[in-house]
Chains A and B, each alone.
Chain A
Amino acid sequence: MRDFIIPQYPPGDDRDMGTPARSGLPVTISVDGIAVTVPEGTSVMRAAAEAGIMVPKLCASDNMEAFGSCRLCVVEIEGRRGTPASCTTPVVEGMVVHTQSDKLRRMRKGVMELYISDHPLDCLTCAANGDCELQDMAGNVGLRDVRYKAPEDRSLVNHFATRDGAGINALYVPKDESNPYFTYDPAKCIVCSRCVRACEEVQGTFALTIEGRGFDSRVKAGAVSDDFLTSDCVSCGACVQACPTATLQEKSVIELGTPERSVITTCAYCGVGCSFKAELNGDQLVRMVPYKHGKANRGHSCVKGRFAYGYAQHKDRILKPMIRDSIDQPWREVEWAEAIAFAAAKMKGIQEKYGRKSVGVITSSRCTNEETYLVQKLTRAVFRNNNTDTCARVCHSPTGYGLGKTYGTSAGTQDFDSVEAADVVVVIGANPTDGHPVFASRLKKRLRQGAKLIVVDPRRTDIVRSAHIEAQYHLPLKPGTNVAVVTAMAHVIVTEGLFDEDFIRTRCDWDEFQFYVDFVSDPRHAPENVELLTGVPAADLRAAARLYATGGNGAIYYGLGVTEHSQGSTTVIGIANLAMLTGNIGRPGVGVNPLRGQNNVQGSCDMGSFPHELPGYRHVKLPDVRAIFEKAWNCEIDPEPGLRIPNMLDAAVEGTFKGLYCQGEDILQSDPDTKHVSAGLAAMECVIVHDLFLNETANYAHVFLPGSSFLEKDGTFTNAERRINRVRKVMAPRNGYEDWEVTQLLANALGAGWHYTHPRQIMEEIAATTPSFAGVTYEVLEEKGSVQWPCNETVPDGTPLMHVDGFVSGKGHFMVTEYVATDERTGPRFPLLLTTGRILAHYNVGAQTRRTENVAWHPEDVLEINPHDAEFRGVKDGDWVRLASRSGETTLRAVLTDRVAAGVVYTTFHHPATQANVVTTDFSDWATNCPEFKVTAVQVSPSNGPTDWQESYNEQAERSRRILTAAE
């Protein structure tokens, strides 16, 4: 990592130590007279760095294995001949190393001289000026002269000059600027291979290579005719970060200059929760660089967090509050005070007219814990009802329910580091390479080390097979049959006696297990008997179950393909059963790990966003829990659970629910059955949307409160591994207020009398009322970087692994998982099954990523269809097709691919122009109402263009987005 020019010692010294850390027995060596003790296997270079001596280097970096090509890091070791490279030489007890001598200095100077003889000397105008390791090393070795001189008749052979005398320089390769975020300038390249190794070892994409050999060696993306954009490159930025020169350089740095300060914060995209250094000049954000001490990402990033932050500056962002009396009027820009007073008066009026329970809130999984906590407090303490819900309803609510019932906590059991110890990984209904790319890179690294992989997914996703990784078993089930597959796996494990009896006897409820055994060993659950239903070959299923049960540490990772079903909760329970059956709980490398969709889904659930639960998953009907909050909030709390999002919309259509405060969520685009959502919103009298953009929901809003981006506020996010990460304010909010301040303004206008001055006070209140957060303070987070809840007196450092000595609920509970087919079925009119998902470049409804250069990779939603189904319907690749279900229809382009099986089609929901959720139905999970996004019976037919619905929708959206610029 070459950004060590910014001195950043505490918190976390992020110097580049040269080679990766090792673990092992201690070995003591002497480096330049300083004794240093390091684990065996550590390189001499790293040992020297530990002693504070930085050996000059160019090709080494501590996030990749040593390569030994630059020959700059040579040292002398007493008793050894020659000058070994310190990066590739492991320490040996008693070794005496000298990093400086006349001989070494001469050699290093000679090496640098050769490098510089083929490098342009345009340092002053170079984008890496002041941030260039080549420059630093030239300084370090004391290079004062380059003796290589050109022959008289021509210039010195080089790669950087465009011309050679009168002719052109055939060795010169022009810049590749195809990637929207960074450039590749071969003229600056020293061929250290760091980018190629980062792409292979860190990211695992294998998109780069060294082309040619000797003096002709060049870094190359893809094959002959590729550039960076057309190659396999996923723009994760690992190569840019690895590059010691300006060869691979962020375009933002080229434009804005070298950053001079940095702030450590947390990415606001997916549930991995990567730590980043936001690097700035003043309040101008120059770039985001993954922070190497971030415990979720360990210095890696993906295209979204690394580059797609431009939405915060996008022209579409609304910075002034706006109001209107009805949704057919144009918006009127007003001052904050007027907007808040208007909103408060409306909500108060609605409550007076229609009753206490006629209003509610929707918290956001993209906002901070503190903000979410305040929004649910607003409804509970100010509106005095429990009508609060969150977007987690539409993604991971079954996880909360299923894991809560079986294990006693509504969260994943492991940290991400755990994957490094997994032997068999089962990925169910998740597409980590697109949805959780940084985790996917860590998983792929483990797979390349030899771990086995089982993928349960209707699509052949990239994790099934891509460069250097291949799943042992891919079970391509028919959408909607998860429960049958998971139960069949349990059947194999139980009937073949592969379960871990010791574990079950000591850790689980034995009587419940007996009952479960009776259920699951029934032959109707045998793989052979469910094959017709699920489409999964029985032999593969049996082999996969055996592998999971007997292959060592078995870890299950699952995503929305599990939860967003009418039996989402049942599948989660089934997964929990599998882990208990095989004893894969409570140590590194095992566990049940939900891959959370949004940055703070975990946190928003923890913070009491659900209508029946107060913060910390405690039911609102429990008087002792209510008492804690009644005392803290000085009010009475309604003991009746409130409305869930679908219930709110139903009640709105019926006329009993009239006011909604919706923070940072676009329910119109992200929730199923768009027509029903819009009908519900249209029936309300006051919809307050608090967001960065005029999103689709705002088309039905009366008050628009501009939001602040994650760069503009303080707070915490909780990622999928329960890790509470700090979000730090990098710049002042462009809209004037951080989101928690806006909620407080609204609450106070309604008479709440809150007076928080910093989110740390909100966290103090959370810690005081919620046992699992009892030990969390901003001071602790500052000191440790992050903690994983539960964090309290007994575990002050937090809890990386759950259920180590026993389940949180005491005994683990086996629960029967009866497969009940969804009511959504294919038939003659709708013979295909639609399943939905996401793609790497985009995030959720795309509100953020569509407003960045990420559209270069995915400008529109497309429909993946099997060539067999397409041919049958006369659909060719790239054709417009009409996608119709029982609830609606839309049009989009078709892509023919065998990634989806015949009978299954697939699309994403990132673009409002497509509105894939017009098609999805309002079937939902039996326990939690999580919508069944993943199964919809559809028909596909050729089409000429947008449907009537899309046109009328766009017209309405256009009309309702009008803004009167000058307030009269």
Chain B
Amino acid sequence: MHSHAPAPTEEEIRGVVAPLASLEGPLLPMLHALQETWGFVPQAAVPVLADILNLGRAEVHGVISFYHDFRDHPAGRHVLKICRAEACQSMGANALAESTLQKLGIGWHGTTSNGALTVEPVYCLGMCACAPAAMVDGKVVGRVDDARMDRILAEVGA
């Protein structure tokens, strides 16, 4: 499990990002690579990225913090995103989200105590026609009602 892994060292971070330095606009690919490797973007990566790309530390932090999807700590084994944009809200997404969080006993961005699932809000998955929508580990699910949500939760072991 990610959360118990030792913090990545500077050398490990360099190993992951250095090969991407020749890309055009390399910062985002590097951040994705870090998140793919460790499940989050370690703070220790900020000075390393700043050094490799000759940026200020602040700039790197600005980019990372701009994107909600870059995490500063590992998520659970699965990630559920529930859409909270207008179309889904009008189709009952708020109630669905509330009952889901209650069932799991967590809040937004929280992870279940067994480490199985993290729940996050998302603002529009482009699935307005099938609202309310959600996304499980990158796979979109439409017309989510309580029953479908229960199936999802069972599937991921939450």
Chain A residues at the B interface, C-beta cutoff of 8 Å: 205-213, 220-226, 231-232, 465-470
Q: Which residues of A contact B54 (CB under 8 A)?
A: 465-470
In the assembled complex, 10 residue pairs joining A and B whose CB atoms fall closer than 8 Å, in A order, are A208-B58, A209-B62, A211-B62, A212-B66, A220-B61, A220-B62, A220-B65, A223-B43, A223-B47, A466-B54
B57 on interface, CB distance cutoff 8 Å? yes
Nearest chain B CB to A865 CB, angstrom units = 21
Assuming A224-B43, A224-B72, A225-B43, is B65 touching A232 (CB within 8 A)? no
Known pairs A206-B58, A232-B57; list 4 more (Cβ under 8 Å). A209-B61, A211-B62, A213-B66, A466-B54
Given contact pairs A207-B58, A209-B56, A209-B58, A467 touches B50 in the complex (Cβ within 8 A): yes
Complex partner residue of A210 from B46, B57, B62, CB under 8 angstroms:
B62
Give the nearest-CB partner of B47 in chain A: A223
Q: In whole angstroms, what is the CA distance A210 to B65 when docked?
A: 9
Determine whether the beta carbon of B57 is less than 8 Å from that of A223.
yes
Give the one of B54, B56, B58, B72 with max A CB within 10 A.
Answer: B58
| Residue pair B57, A222 in contact (C-beta under 8 Å) | yes
Chain B residues in 8 Å Cβ range of A206:
55-56, 58-59
Dominant SS among interface residues on chain B: helix
Q: What separation, in Å, do the CA atoms of A78 and B57 have in the docked complex?
A: 45
Give Cα distance in the complex from A816 to B66, angstroms: 59
Q: A211-B65, A212-B66 are in contact. Are A222 and B58 (CB under 8 A)?
A: yes
Alpha-carbon distance A224/B40, docked complex (angstroms): 15
Number of interface residues of B (CB under 8 A): 16
A497–chain B nearest beta-carbon distance, Å: 35
A residues near B56, Cβ cutoff 8 Å: 205-207, 209, 232, 467-468
Residues of B within 8 A of A232 (CB): 56-58
Which residues on A sit within 8 Å (CB–CB) of B58? 206-209, 220-223, 226, 231-232
Contacts of B57 in A (CB 8 A): 222-223, 226, 231-232
Nearest Cβ on chain B to A157's Cβ, whole angstroms: 16
- Pick the 9 closest A-B CB pairs, nearest first: A206-B56, A209-B62, A209-B58, A223-B61, A467-B56, A223-B46, A211-B65, A223-B57, A213-B66
Secondary structure of the A side of the interface? loop
List, in ascending order, chain B residues with CB within 8 A of A208's CB. 58
Q: Closest B residue to A209 by CB, please name it.
A: B62
Nearest-Cβ distance from residue A705 to partner chain B, whole angstroms:
47
Closest to A213 in B: B66
The CA-CA distance from A212 to B65 in the complex, in Å, is 5
Whole-angstrom CA separation of A247 from B87 in the bound complex: 38
Separation in Å of the B107 CB from the closest CB of chain A?
A: 12
Least Cβ–Cβ distance between B66 and chain A, in angstroms: 5
* A209-B43 in contact given A467-B50, A468-B54 (Cβ < 8 Å): no
How far is B42's CA from A225's CA once the two chains are assembled, in angstroms? 13
Name which residue of chain A comes closest to B68, CB basis. Answer: A213
Complex-state Cα separation, A467 to B57, whole angstroms: 9
Q: Tell whether A211 pairs with B61 under 8 Å between CB atoms, given A223-B43, A224-B43.
A: yes
- In the bound complex, how far is the Cα of B58 from the Cα of A220, in angstroms? 7
Asked if B80 is an interface residue, CB under 8 A from chain A, the answer is: no
Instruction: For B67, give the chain A residue with the smallest CB separation.
Output: A213
Chain B 63-77 per-residue mask, 1 if CB under 8 angstroms from chain A, else 0: 001100000100000
> Chain B CB within 10 Å — which of A209, A210, A211, A221 has the most?
A209
- Contact of A224 with B55 in the complex, beta carbons under 8 Å: no
CA distance A450 to B55 in the complex (A): 16
B133 contacts the other chain (CB 8 A): no
- For A211, the chain B residues whose CB sits under 8 A away are 61-62, 65
When each residue 31-60 of chain B gets 1 if its CB lies under 8 Å from chain A and 0 otherwise, what string results? 000000000000100110010001111111
- Smallest CB gap from A226: residue in B: B57
In the bound complex, residues from chain B placing their C-beta under 8 Å from that of A226 are 57-58
User: What chain A residues lie within 8 Å of B65 (beta carbons)?
Assistant: 211-213, 220
CB distance from A961 to the nearest CB of B (A): 43
Residues of B within 8 A of A212 (CB): 65-66
In whole angstroms, what is the CA distance A206 to B55 when docked?
8
What's the Cα separation between A346 and B55 when bound, in Å?
Answer: 61
| Bound CA span A42–B47, Å | 38
For B60, the chain A residues whose CB sits under 8 A away are: 223
Bound CA span A223–B43, Å: 8
Contacts of A210 in B (CB 8 A): 62
The interface residues of chain A lying within 8 Å CB-to-CB of B62 are 209-211, 220
Least distance between B124 CB and chain A CB atoms (Å) = 14
Would you call B61 and A468 a contact (CB within 8 A)? Answer: no
**Please, how many angstroms separate the alpha-carbon atoms of A231 and B56 in the complex?**
9
A448 to chain B, nearest CB (A): 11
Q: Kindly provide the distance from the CB of A882 to the nearest chain B CB, expressed in whole angstroms.
A: 32
In this complex, the member of A207, A222, A232, A466 whose beta carbon has the largest number of chain B beta carbons within 10 angstroms is A222
Most chain B Cβ neighbours within 10 Å, of A205, A207, A232, A467: A467
Complex alpha-carbon distance, A220 and B60, angstroms: 12
Asked if A222 meets B61 with Cβ closer than 8 Å, knowing A206-B56, A209-B56, the reply is: yes
